[in-house]
Amino acid sequence: MFVLVVLIGFGISVNAQLFAEKKTIYVIPETAKIFYNGHEVGNGSYEIKFGRNEDFVMLKFEAPGYISRSIKLFKNNPKKTVSYELFVDEAMQGSLGADEGVDLANKYFSITCKKGMTEDVVWKRLMNITVTNFENVEVRDKSAGWIKTAWINTSFLYQIVRTKMEIQLQFTGEDELAYRVKISSEIADKDCGSNSQCFIKYGRILKKYEQVISELQTTLGSNF
């Protein structure tokens, strides 16, 4: 009987320690925001106390210029201290977005051609800009005024950004030539691979495609 009581008491003690499990997490850079089960709780470091019925917690780390990271930390992790490091967001460094005044990713914008330019001249210039900047043109329908490129993948250390362009004749109802242009941009984690299901819309355009917009503006004229 005495042995049984001791064992039961020991079991209760072990369970109490398990339920009161604490872990301290550290994140690099120290400025990184820490989100604990969806709530922001600190920067750089935080002590987690697991609840009685919690087997794990969800953590997310964010910092400007770094790739955000989401992880699941289990209570049975033997480490009392756990460190995480965020990686530099190379895709962001190599791209432009609304913060830089280039809010054109995944949006149609209009190009109104300069007066006096014939449709043949405009088409040749559109095709020249397209083939200069994109390797593969999937659609080149002059009669419909439609140009569409294939995706081009650009790889970074931890990410893949893919870009394509589409140009369509725009009917304005006025005596002028106008086209609408869309530069589509999507991003995926490199670990996921180049499968289309891995990609999501990316609200930024790679810097190397900034010249496409400039060429369209200066070569044809624009109204934006």
- In terms of domains, do 80 and 120 share one? no
- Give the end of a domain, one of 88, 118, 133: 88
Final residue before a domain boundary, out of 35, 59, 88: 88
Same domain for 69 and 46? yes
Are residues 99 and 65 part of one domain? Answer: no
pLDDT given at position 20: 43
Give the integer Cα–Cα distance in Å for 219 and 168.
17
- Rounded Cα gap, residues 22 and 129, in angstroms: 59
pLDDT at 21: 82
Which of the four pLDDT bands, split at 50, 70 and 90, describes residue 208? very high
What 8-state DSSP symbol labels residue 173? Answer: S
Q: Which residues, 6+ apart, have CB-to-CB distance to 187 below 8 Å? A: 91, 159, 160, 161, 162, 199, 200, 202
Indicate if 40 and 122 belong to the same structural domain: no
For 50-92, what is each residue's pLDDT tens digit? Answer: 988 899 999 999 999 999 999 999 999 999 999 999 999 999 9
Are 112 and 124 contained in the same domain? Answer: yes
Nearest to 87 by CA among 165, 159, 11: 159
Whether 66 and 84 have beta carbons less than 8 Å apart is answered as no
On whether both 162 and 187 belong to a single domain, the answer is yes
Q: Which of 200, 204, 203, 142 is nearest to 167 (CA)?
A: 142
Full residue range of the structural domain in which residue 196 is found:
92-220
- Residues 117 and 197 occupy one common structural domain: yes
Indicate left, alpha or beta for 19 from its phi (over 0: left) and psi (-120 to 50: alpha): alpha
CATH number for the domain spanning 22: value is 2.60.40.3070
Among 60, 88, 116, residue at a domain's last position:
88
Dihedral sign, Cα of residue 157, residue 161, residue 162, residue 164? negative
Q: Are residues 116 and 182 in the same domain?
A: yes
How many domains are there within the chain? 2
SS (H, E, C) 13-66: HHHHHHHCCEEEEEEECCCCEEEECCEEEEECEEEEECCCCCCEEEEEEECCCE
N residues, the chain: 224
Same-domain check for residues 29 and 133: no
Same domain, 33 and 58: yes
CA 42, 192, 104, 102 torsion-angle sign: positive
* CATH code of 128's domain: 3.30.310
Percent of the chain with pLDDT over 90: 66
Residues 45 and 196: their CA atoms lie apart, in Å, by 36
Q: Are residues 58 and 96 in the same domain?
A: no
pLDDT class of 173 with cuts at 50, 70, 90? low
pLDDT at 141 over 70: yes
pLDDT tens, residue by residue, 152-164? 999 999 999 999 9
Q: Are residues 107 and 187 in the same domain?
A: yes
Predicted model pTM: 0.79
pLDDT of residue 25: 96
